[in-house]
Structure 1
Amino acid sequence: MTEPLYELAHLGHAELLTPVYDRSLAFFTEVYGLDLVHESGGSAYLRAWGDHDLTTLKLTAADRAGLGHVAWRAVSPQALTRRVAALEERGVEGEWIDGDFGHGKAYSFIAPSGQRMELYFETEKYRAPAGKASYLPNQPQSSVARGVGAARIDHINVLANDVPGTREVMCEALGFKLREHLIPPGQPEVGAWLSLMNKAHDLAITREPVPGVTGRLHHLAYAVENREDVLRAADIFCELGVEIEFGPAKHSRTQGFFLYVLEPGGNRIEVFSGGFHIFAPDWEPVTWTTEGQGRSTAWGLEVPASFHSHATPVLP
């Protein structure tokens, strides 16, 4: 058994690009329920009420939707240095950048799947101002929320032409652990679900449907506290005229309860709850050949065609 690495802590933040900045910002603040903490240079920096870091989402005006970058926080400055060295040993070269609002210097690189990623350690903690503090001292902010009330950033799903090749680099260089993967009979691996600590997944890698295309985003997910919050989100989306693409339902893999919509810029956003936790250090990855007992999801809800075809940037 290869000794597991625990040198990256969690998904730190993501940057989403949008061609309709004002409408996307209104969605994330008024509908999804994030707080705006800073705005400058054509970007807004947002957070969910349960995020301990100052910001977990950067929303940037751009010509088209997509993922600007996704960032992973190391457990220490020393761990950051070691993971950068491991990437470079495998030929994944990047550069150090000064950082951005809310976090310090970061190592920026292009993952084998084509998405820009960052590794960093230094981050600014959120300090709740008057009127936003929780009565519970172990919570970063009051949980009294508006809209969906997204609680914290949870995971991201990126597309890759070579799923096993991408996950091998993420696992061997950065310490991600393979928890589950999907290998249909007679086909190559089409999906892998990886985590850094004990969640079912922090990162999902699924096969890009268009050969030769790289760097696209499937979805970004924030978690809510429980299944009832996902059902409440469905009502909120319907009341506010946001079309639901998929769900509410339960995933077979990860066992999470889910709901997907497209924000105004076109990026797919998930409301997620649950998912199993892994405490065994010698977890054996689960190999799926199809959905459980032939069901499209855990309880049989069919997957819409758009879920397999739509990603951002949208191809011409």
Structure 2
Amino acid sequence: MALNKTLRPGLIQLRVLDLDQTLNFYKNILGLNEVCRTEDGRVCLKAYDEFDHHSVTLRLAEEPGFDYAAFKVDSEETLEKMAEAVEAFGYQTDVVPANTNQPGFGKRIGFTISTGHRLEIYADVELAPQIPETRNPNIWTEEPRGMRAQRLDHFLLYGPNIAEAERFCKEVLGMFVPEVCNTPDGKRLAAWVTSSNKPHDLAFVEYDKPGKMHHVGFLLQDWNDVGHAADIMAINHLKQDIGPTRHAITRGQTIYFWEPSGNRIEVYAGGYTAYPDNPQRVWDSEQLGRGLFYYEGEMIPSFLQIIT
């Protein structure tokens, strides 16, 4: 459940290299549903358990990676107040009119944070053409495909000055930080940030180059579904990073791999329940490998080195 006026990460736009091949992955392997296509050729998708118009947009480009992500807030009043707070914090804002480059979405306020990533906030979005039933509902209207992703869950961003990005998320978006990792001199190396009972809606890792993405995560139902996803990966010869395994950080059950365009994907289940009054969990940087990969107990080099 949301604990403040920022409800959840509701939209991410990704760059992909081969639209047809990558779209086949998102639809038939990850299990998203195609909602629509834009005049400029982008494809909008949603997971079967999501109500909003779409949550993922794919854009054909010369290199993979992150274009922007958007958070849904609880009202137009909150949207306007947050826009003012963004400006007061020191980030310039712009307005994306309703139903322009993201069909079904109302007005969005955009800005670039210290890590070099564009984030947006919005209050209004249409329901998708096909949504979960709400009256005497079945568990699904069509049997989920592939890995059976339930929703867009979170994303991990790499960039400089994550301490400021973390402060922005707390002071402007009203989020909190259940878990962090610090270097020996006390500087922030990584932070996990949430607006809900989830252990994270987004995360940051300190990195000298701006605007980079480590992965985007999708929720699965449970550990059995993570294993099922690993079976599908093997059948489809997808390149694996690590897993199935478990995090100590966030306590989630996970597997990481790359989609055909080279963006890293996580499918994720579980995790602890986060509350803003809980003591913050703190990891020392020399223990980060164990924190990320609890069973293996050490860092996997590719996990930190490969980003888009």
The question of a shared fold, defined as TM-score above 0.5 by the shorter chain, is answered with yes
Conservation of the 8 A alpha-carbon contact between 2:247 and 2:291: no
For residue 287 of structure 1, what is the aligned residue in structure 2?
282
Give 1:283 deviation, angstroms: 2.2
Q: Which runs of 5+ in 2 are unaligned?
A: none
Residue 106 (str. 1) matches residue 108 (str. 2): yes
Which residue identity lines up with residue 176 of structure 1 in the other structure?
M
CA deviations over 1:41-66 (Å, ceiling 9, x no partner): 22000011111212110011111111
Task: Tell me what 1:219 maps to.
Answer: 215
Alpha-carbon offset, residue 173 of structure 1: 1.2
2:202 maps to a residue whose letter is: L
Deviations 1:245-277 (A, max 9, x none): 111111111000011111111111110001111
SS of structure 2 residue aligned to 1:26: helix
Q: Which residue of 1 aligns with 2:130?
A: 128
1:293, 1:240 → 2: CA distance? 28
Following TM superposition, by how much is the alpha carbon of 1:284 offset from its aligned partner in structure 2, in angstroms? 2.3
| Superposition map of 1:247-262 within 5 A | 247-262=243-258
> Which aligned pairs between 1:163-178 and structure 2 lie closer than 5 A?
163-178=162-177
The whole-number CA distance in structure 2 between the counterparts of 1:258 and 1:251 is 7
Partner residue of 1:205?
204
- For residues 84 and 3 of structure 2, what CA distance do their matches in structure 1 show? 14
1:84 partner letter: A
User: Which residue identity is paired with 1:59?
Assistant: L
Aligned amino acid, residue 115 of structure 1: H
Instruction: Please say if residues 105 and 122 of structure 1, whose CA atoms lie closer than 8 Å, have aligned partners that are also in contact.
Output: yes
* 1:27 alignment partner, SS class: helix
Q: Which amino acid aligns with 2:58?
A: L
1:223-238 counterparts in 2 under 5 A? 223-238=219-234
Counterpart residue type for residue 202 of structure 1: D
Distance in 2 between residues matched to 1:172 and 1:294, nearest whole Å = 31
Label 1:21 to 1:82 Cα distance change in 2 as closer, same or farther (>3 A).
Answer: same
Question: 1:243 pairs with 239, 242, 246, which one?
Answer: 239
The residue number in structure 1 matching 2:4 is 6
CA distance in 2, matches of 1:43, 1:252: 37
Deviation at 1:23, TM superposition (A): 1.3
Aligned to 2:189: 190
Q: State the secondary structure of the residue aligned to 1:260.
A: strand
Matched, 1:50 2:49: yes
Contact 1:94 1:107 in 2 (8 A): yes
* Range with greater deviation from structure 2 (180-189 or 261-270): 180-189
Alpha-carbon distance, 1:137 to partner: 4.1
Give the TM-score of the pair, scaled to structure 1: 0.90
SS at match of 1:259: strand
| Counterpart position of 1:263 | 259
Aligned to 1:300: 296
Identity %, equivalent residues: 27
Cα 1:140/1:101, change in 2 over 3 Å:
farther
Question: Is the CA contact (8 Å cut-off) linking 1:260 and 1:271 kept in structure 2?
Answer: yes
Distance verdict in 2 for CA 1:246–1:91, change over 3 Å:
same
Q: Output the amino acid matched with 1:6.
A: N
Aligned length: 302
SS in 2 for 1:291: helix
Tell me which residue corresponds to 2:70.
71
Q: CA deviation at 1:176?
A: 1.4
Structure 1 pair 138–14 and aligned structure 2 pair: CA distance change class (3 A): farther
1:84 aligns with 2:83: yes
Alignment partners' CA distance in 2, 1:69 and 1:139: 34
Amino acid at match of 1:255: R
- Preserved contact between residue 248 and residue 290 of structure 2 (Cα < 8 Å): no
CA distance in 2, matches of 1:162, 1:288: 19
8 Å CA contact retained: 1:246, 1:303: no
Distance 1:182 1:292, change over 3 A: closer
User: Partner residue of 1:37?
Assistant: 35
Correspondences of 1:137-148 after superposition (within 5 Å): 137-138=136-137, 141-142=140-141, 144-148=143-147
Residue 274 in structure 1 maps to residue 270 in structure 2: yes
Could you tell me how far apart the structure 1 residues matched to 2:75 and 2:139 are? Answer: 21
Tell me the SS of whatever aligns to 1:190: strand
Change (3 A) 1:119 1:296: closer
5+ residue gaps in structure 1?
A: none
Q: For residues 159 and 297 of structure 1, do their structure 2 counterparts lie closer, same or farther at Cα, with a shift above 3 Å needed?
A: same
Q: Please, which moves more after superposition, 51-60 or 289-298?
A: 289-298
Q: Assess, with a 3 A threshold, how the Cα gap between structure 1 residues 253 and 298 changes in structure 2: closer, same or farther.
A: same
Distance 1:184 1:138 in 2: 49
Instruction: Render the CA deviation track for 1:140-175: whole Å, top value 9, x for unaligned.
Output: 953611111111110011112112121111211111
